[in-house]
Structure 1
Amino acid sequence: MVFQTPIRRLNYPAYKSPYGPKYHYQPNIAGWTVKEFANLGFKAGAFGGVAFFALIFYASGIPRVKKDILQKIPIIGEHFVTVIPPSDNPF
């Protein structure tokens, strides 16, 4: 039978060096820390922004998208206004 050392049996606290690492509790959810959640959120936001830009770029040829979305952007909205001269109108 193996016994603990006499110091451990008397409930003395273990020696902790002032020069050693300072351990503390790090909160987590299933192993995911706050830093990992923030990093994941940043990457997901960047990917979502690029996906939104690509969607608007590909759909910019649709007249309804031009009129309802792109023309209402404050600075670059005038770029998406299509003016057809009366001489090109077939009717």
Structure 2
Amino acid sequence: MLTQKIFTSQYRSPYGPKLKNGLHFGPWTPKLVTRLGVTTGAFGGVALFAAIFFAEGVPRVRTDILQKIPVFGSYWIREIPASDNPF
């Protein structure tokens, strides 16, 4: 005997909650992706600042990176006084 399913729409009360599926890709919602992006960016910025702060004393880092910063680059220029020049 063949059974045939009849698909009928379910009754929805006009007084009940209006639920809709939100935008998502697996467990990732736009709100979650935004929050994770901001958090990751903040941690990355702090890590970059810490790495430059600790490597500030290395002359190669000072000349290749820090002196090329547009506004604050002149802070890291180390001029040798004439009295310390052996020639």
Give the TM-score of the pair, scaled to structure 1: 0.78
Cα displacement string for residues 21-59 of structure 1 (whole angstroms, at most 9, x for unaligned residues): 221111323322111111111100000000000000000
- Mapped to 1, the partners of 2:57 and 2:69 lie a distance apart of 16
- Mapped to 2, the partners of 1:12 and 1:61 lie a distance apart of 72
- Segments of 5+ residues of structure 1 without an aligned counterpart are 1-8
Are 2:57 and 1:61 equivalent residues in the alignment?
Answer: yes
- How many residues align? The count is 82
Q: What CA RMSD, in Å, does the superposition of the two structures yield over aligned residues?
A: 1.9
Give percent identity, aligned residues only: 49
- Mapped to 2, the partners of 1:48 and 1:10 lie a distance apart of 53
Question: Greater strand percent: which structure?
Answer: 1
- Mapped to 1, the partners of 2:18 and 2:7 lie a distance apart of 25
Question: Greater helix percent: which structure?
Answer: 1
- Segments of 5+ residues of structure 2 without an aligned counterpart are 1-5
